[in-house]
Structure 1
């Protein structure tokens, strides 16, 4: 914890005891485009009730905040696809429960240095008038109301997604068609397939599963096969028993005392 700076933050103006955030400049083994190390502040100990907007509201005094990403634990941040970020009804990630870590990405490198020099004696709040955090009964009421979704809005989102999917599929298909049979500068011809790789993988897995199931069904299917299997098992046990008896007898014979 030597590299971290301690930053006390209260829940709101009525709170008497602060919660402590631990911040430092983000360090990466491999560069990531969505969290550049020179513009990212790494925050540890983020409480469960804290939202991305609350963190943005706390650190915006140091400069313009481009993005705030929260995770259960430190690790690689995969950039979300447009479909994942736009979906209102189909979440691709389960909500984070408990304490978490955050990556605050600024637009300028100097903002990170200013954030590390923030005065810990100043009063800061997670929940403010501009960025309130709903808690208690009001939070439960909102969660209950959000359970009831508009069927028309869901249908519209699904249709939009399928339209984009069909458009991307048609574009990929046309690109493969244009590459079919064409040779490059060195005379190599690119072999393309219009079938879906995902579909082919599913078919192969289904065939293997059917083969395993068939072999399992045919094994010991008839009564005489079952009897033969039991006889073989009993014969192997008897053979092993006789071998063990011979080993024990040989060990006893070797331990006998013969003075003459």
Structure 2
């Protein structure tokens, strides 16, 4: 990913995978500013982060930026834009696929002072992604783990479907004016009653 333009006023944070790594990446951060404010991303408390490697996860971003102050939420996306978080995700079986390339993040802090601290960081020693206490999977190990976690267990899926249908049947039982016969919903007019089309 190319570096943002100078006029954008990003702060650069160096980043290494491990303390022994010779390769140093760069994160670009600035205070989140948009014309149409989002209540989930208060502008005075939200940090916008570019150039996050594909192997980084929310927990890791949360841990890294907690160095600047208490973090209340982290949202990773493939590209900048409105929140893609579903307010009421119906099922764990039908979630969005994980991002495959570099990502952006919106880090919401508890206080605006933490955002100011993050954007005022000067040249420093690189932040380290993986430690003995917080290992981060990368490369083939991560790809294999992502693949195996994407395989759905048919029994879990069937249990989920059964629970969903039980809930649906309970909700339908509470709908007034619906006739039932042997567990089947007949509708307001009953079977075989045709309505004229106008």
Identify whether the pair has TM-score above 0.5, normalized to the shorter chain. Answer: yes
Alignment of 1:46-57 (within 5 A): 46-57=52-63
Structure whose CA Rg is larger? 1
Residue 18 in structure 1 maps to residue 24 in structure 2: yes
Please give the TM-score of this superposition, normalised by the length of structure 1: 0.58
User: Residue 116 of structure 1 corresponds to which residue in structure 2?
Assistant: 119
Does the CA contact (< 8 Å) of 2:55 and 2:142 recur in 1? no
Residue 151 in structure 1 maps to residue 157 in structure 2: no
Gaps of 5+ in 1: 178-193, 196-260
Inter-CA distance 168–50: structure 2 relative to 1 (3 Å threshold): farther
Q: CA deviation at 1:118?
A: 2.9
Inter-partner Cα distance in structure 1 for 2:43 and 2:78: 19
May I ask how many residue pairs the two structures share in their alignment?
173
Larger relative contact order (C-alpha < 8 A, sep ≥ 6)? Answer: 2
Write 1 or 2 for the structure with the bigger share of helix. 1
Residue 31 in structure 1 maps to residue 34 in structure 2: no
Please give the TM-score of this superposition, normalised by the length of structure 2: 0.74
Alignment of 1:7-156 (within 5 A): 7-84=13-90, 87-91=91-95, 93-156=96-159
Write 1 or 2 for the structure with the bigger share of strand. 2
Does the CA contact (< 8 Å) of 1:34 and 1:79 recur in 2? no
